[in-house]
Chain A
């Protein structure tokens, strides 16, 4: 399963719900305002790092760059471009968007 989250973890609970429901080995792709959670010092960073033990965590590079966050990405988070986004969707048999 590929989980896609697009809301800021410091404003909404969608990331927390996602991490609660995601099963071991699943992928979580952070896009739009959700990318802030994958940056150093963010209140949600510890949750992302803990989750990275069982899940593969990705963040969309163009969304990080547009928010001035490209240089602040947490260790263990994989940055992908739009091509990588497409590959993730194609590689997984199903996907869930946490709107």
Chain B
């Protein structure tokens, strides 16, 4: 048996990935780039959680109209995540409160987490990728 046969190529391994979104949608390119990376990751059948904290909660606002600033309205793409089997969307309660927002203001169904719940979720991940 050669060494090659003993090597695990990693296929079939499912890791817990968290995508942590902390930026508002249009002022920087982070939100759009993060969303595109998540959609790519979906193709690899990983255990993906998408988390929105701080100004990242603004990414999920309803009622967006980007015509005036002539950029793509990608807010509706968050609704398509379900179709890619990305169904674990989490929002930080403290971040909503600091911005006068509630779950009803958001374009997708999310699970709202307390600080402790968010911290535990973060701690149990294999990989955290921040945008």
Partners in one complex: yes
User: Which residues of A approach B to under 8 Å, CB–CB?
Assistant: 6-8, 10-11, 32-33, 36, 39-43, 45, 61-63, 65-72, 81
User: For chain B, what secondary structure do more than half of its interface residues adopt (helix, strand, loop), or is it mixed?
Assistant: loop
Q: Are A66 and B55 in contact (CB under 8 A)?
A: no
Q: Are A33 and B24 in contact (CB under 8 A)?
A: yes
Shortest C-beta distance, B95 to chain A (Å), equals: 9
Chain B contacts for A10, CB-based, 8 A: 54-55, 98-99
Q: Are B99 and A71 in contact (CB under 8 A)?
A: no
Contact of B64 among A7, A40, A68 (CB under 8 A): A68
Chain A contacts for B69, CB-based, 8 A: 62-63, 66
Of all A-B residue pairs in the complex, the 4 with the closest CB atoms, nearest first, are A41-B100, A62-B68, A68-B61, A33-B27
Q: Are A11 and B65 in contact (CB under 8 A)?
A: no
- Given the known A-B contacts A33-B27, A62-B68, are A67 and B58 also in contact in the complex, defined by CB atoms under 8 Å? yes
- Given the known A-B contacts A36-B58, A68-B61, are A42 and B27 also in contact in the complex, defined by CB atoms under 8 Å? no
Contact of B100 among A11, A33, A39, A71 (CB under 8 A): A39
Chain A contacts for B66, CB-based, 8 A: 65-66
Give the total number of A-B pairs whose CB atoms are below 8 A apart.
77
User: Which residues of B approach A to under 8 Å, CB–CB?
Assistant: 23-28, 54-55, 58, 61-69, 71, 73, 75, 98-101, 105
Q: Are A66 and B26 in contact (CB under 8 A)?
A: yes
Q: Are B25 and A67 in contact (CB under 8 A)?
A: yes
CA distance A66 to B68 in the complex (A): 7
The CB with the most chain A CB atoms within 10 A, among B27, B54, B63, B73, is that of: B27
11 residue pairs bridging A and B, Cβ less than 8 Å apart: A11-B24, A36-B24, A41-B99, A42-B98, A43-B99, A63-B26, A65-B66, A66-B73, A68-B58, A68-B64, A70-B65
Chain A contacts for B25, CB-based, 8 A: 66-67
Shortest C-beta distance, A38 to chain B (Å), equals: 12
Chain B contacts for A69, CB-based, 8 A: 61
